[in-house]
Structure 1
C-alpha cells in the first residue's frame, strides 16, 4: 500500500517537473530578443558564432528535439550566462539561494513555535477572553500587509529606537567569506574574527526580517491549529474518553493533541511556499542578498536567462517541499493512504 502510494506520488512529481520545464523552455520564445541570446546569455554574438550556437543548441531541429537538448543542458549544469554579469547563472543561484533558505527556515520554525501553542491554547480556552484575544490578534496580523509591517518595524526598531539594523546580513566590521552561504556556518569556519561578536551581529541582522517574514504564516498557523483542535474535540472518541473518566489533560494529550497536529505536516509545505513568495518582498525591503532580491533585480534588468533559472529553482523547491510534506502526512496518517 505504501509503496503504491509512493509510486503514484513520484509519478505525479515527475509529471509536474516535465510541465515546469516545458513552461520554462517556452519562455525562450516568449521573451523579446534573439533566441540564441535568451538561451545562452551571451551578448554581441558574431554571425559565425550565432550559426554555430544554433547548431549546438539544436535550434535547426524540431521543437521536441530542442526541448530534449534543453533538458540535457539543464542536467549538465549548463544554464547559460547572466546578461548582467556574464557569469554562470547556476553559480549565481548557488551564491544567493542559501540566504533565502536560511531566512525562510528560521521564519518557518518561528511560525511553528509560536503558532501551534497559541492555536492549541485558543482551542482549549474556546470562547474565553484569551481565545478572543488570540483570535483577534491573529485576524489583525493576517490582514496586515507584510511590506507595510516591515516599513513600520524599520521605522520603530531601527530608526527610532536603534535596536536593530535596517539591512544586510552582517555588519561591515566583520569580514566573513561566503564558503557555504549560510552566515552562521561561515562565521564558524572563519578563524580570524571574533566569532561570538560576529554571530551576535548576524543574529541582530536576522531578527527583524525573520519576524516580518514569519508574521503571516504564524497567524495562518494559529487559525489552522485552533480549527483543527476544535474539530478533534468534537469527535466521538474524545467524548468516549471523557466518559471513561480520563482527565481533561489526559484526553487532550493522548487523543486530541496528536490527532489535531496531523494536518499540520501538510500545512508546513503550504506555508513554506508562502514564505518563499513573501521572501521576495522581505529581501528587497531589508536588502537581504537572497534569490528573491536577485530575481527581482533580474526582472528589472530584463535578464532573461536569470529569470528562467530563478523561476525553475524556486518552483522546483516549492514542489519538492510540498511533495515531501504530503508524503510525511500520509505516513503519519494511515487514513490518508486510502484517498
Structure 2
C-alpha cells in the first residue's frame, strides 16, 4: 500500500511540475512582453518594471526563472489580470467553485439516472427495453453539448418561460460567499427570504446542469449495461442459477456488487468530462465559472489569466483523476496487483 501511494505521489508531483513548466513557458510564447505576461502589469513605470524584472529574476537563465516562478505559485502570487486588475488567485477562487458545483450536480444526476437504466438494459439484454435505451443513449451521445444547451434555452426559457435564461442568481438577491457552492451558501446563510433565494438559484441551475448531464448519463448507461451483461454471463452467476437461486436473488446478492466494481474507475473519470463540458455550457448560460472567465480572457487577450486559468484547470483534473484511481486501487487490492505495471 505504501509503495502504491508513493508511486502515485511521485506521478502527481512530476505531472504538476511539467504543467507548471509549460505554464511558465507560455509567458514567453504569448505575444507581448514576457514580464507583462508573468506579472499582469502591462503599463508600469520604468522603476516598477525594473523592480519586477528583479523580482522574477529575468536576468538569470530560464531554469532559475522557473524555480522562482514555482515559488511564487506556491505563495499564491499568480500575477494580476490585464482586464480587471485583480489578483489572479482571487479570480480563480471566485470562478472555479462555480464550475465544480455545476459538474458535481451533473455527475450526481448522471449517476442517479444512468446506473439504474444501465442495469435495466443489461438485465433485459436483446429485448425491447434494451433496444429502446440503447437508441436513446446513442441519440444523447451524438448531440453536441452546446447545441443541446441552446435547444433547452429556446424551448424551456424563451418559448415556455419555465426557467431563467442565464446567470446563476437573479440580480434582486445577494448571497454571502462561504463555500463557493451557491446552494450550500444559501442554506448556511442568515438570509430572511432563504427559501425564495434557494428556489431562484435552483431554477437557474436546472438547464445548465441537465445540458451537461445528458452526455455523461448516456456514457454511464452504456458502461453499466456492458458490465452487467458480462457479470450476468459469468461462471459464478451460472452456478448460482444452477443452485436454484432466483434472478432477483442473484442480482441483489452477486450481480450489483460485481457489476459496479469494475466500472467505478470509469464512472469517477467522467468528472473530468463533465468539467470540460461545463466550461462550454457556462458560456451559453453566462454561468460565472472558470470556463466563461477563460473565454472572456481569450477575447480580451488577457494572457496572464489564460496562463493561470489553464494551469488551475489542469491541476484540478490531474489531482482528482489520480486521487480517484489511487483510492480504487487501495480499496480493491486485486486491481492494484493486476495493473501494477500501468502505474
Q: TM-score range by the shorter chain?
A: over 0.9
- SS state at 1:299 partner: helix
Pair 1:16-2:18 in alignment:
no
Greater displacement, 188-197 / 236-245: 188-197
Query: 2: distance between equivalents of 1:237 and 1:328?
Result: 27
Greater displacement, 318-327 / 85-94: 318-327
How do 1:310-329 and structure 2 match up within 5 A? 310-329=309-328
Query: 2: distance between equivalents of 1:16 and 1:263?
Result: 26
Once the two structures are superposed, what CA deviation does each residue of 1:168-217 show, in whole Å capped at 9, x if it has no partner? Answer: 11122223233432212332344343111111111111111110010111
Alpha-carbon distance, 1:11 to partner: 1.2
Counterpart residue number, 2:207: 208
Query: 1: distance between equivalents of 2:330 and 2:153?
Result: 43
Once the two structures are superposed, what CA deviation does each residue of 1:41-62 show, in whole Å capped at 9, x if it has no partner? Answer: 0021222222222121111111
Q: What root-mean-square deviation, in Å, do the aligned CA atoms of Structure 1 and Structure 2 show?
A: 1.3
The answer as to whether partners of 1:168 and 1:286 remain within 8 angstroms in 2 is yes
Counterpart residue number, 1:303: 302
Counterpart residue number, 2:228: 229
The answer as to whether partners of 1:174 and 1:193 remain within 8 angstroms in 2 is no
How do 1:23-102 and structure 2 match up within 5 A? 23-102=22-101
Counterpart residue number, 1:162: 161
Counterpart residue number, 2:112: 113
Greater displacement, 130-139 / 44-53: 44-53
- SS state at 2:179 partner: coil
Query: 2: distance between equivalents of 1:38 and 1:136?
Result: 49
How do 1:267-306 and structure 2 match up within 5 A? 267-306=266-305
- SS state at 2:164 partner: coil
Q: Structure 1: where are the runs of 5+ without partners?
A: none
The answer as to whether partners of 1:266 and 1:322 remain within 8 angstroms in 2 is no
- SS state at 1:127 partner: coil
Query: 1: distance between equivalents of 2:207 and 2:180?
Result: 19
Query: 1: distance between equivalents of 2:301 and 2:258?
Result: 49
User: TM-score, length-normalised on structure 2?
Assistant: 0.95
The answer as to whether partners of 1:262 and 1:329 remain within 8 angstroms in 2 is no
Once the two structures are superposed, what CA deviation does each residue of 1:80-129 show, in whole Å capped at 9, x if it has no partner? Answer: 00000111000011111111111110000000110011001100011111
Query: 2: distance between equivalents of 1:140 and 1:196?
Result: 37
Query: 1: distance between equivalents of 2:302 and 2:110?
Result: 34
Counterpart residue number, 1:198: 197
The answer as to whether partners of 1:100 and 1:291 remain within 8 angstroms in 2 is yes
- SS state at 2:70 partner: helix
The number of residues matched between the two structures is 338
The 1:90–1:253 alpha-carbon spacing in structure 2 relative to 1, beyond 3 Å, is same
Query: 2: distance between equivalents of 1:180 and 1:4?
Result: 35
Counterpart residue number, 1:249: 248
Q: Structure 2: where are the runs of 5+ without partners?
A: none
- SS state at 1:169 partner: coil
The 1:74–1:30 alpha-carbon spacing in structure 2 relative to 1, beyond 3 Å, is same
The answer as to whether partners of 1:41 and 1:305 remain within 8 angstroms in 2 is yes
Counterpart residue number, 1:146: 145
- SS state at 1:111 partner: helix
- SS state at 1:38 partner: helix
Alpha-carbon distance, 1:247 to partner: 1.7
Query: 2: distance between equivalents of 1:190 and 1:261?
Result: 38
Greater displacement, 263-272 / 60-69: 263-272
Query: 1: distance between equivalents of 2:237 and 2:171?
Result: 57
The answer as to whether partners of 1:265 and 1:328 remain within 8 angstroms in 2 is no
Greater displacement, 207-216 / 322-331: 322-331
Counterpart residue number, 1:126: 125
The answer as to whether partners of 1:263 and 1:329 remain within 8 angstroms in 2 is no
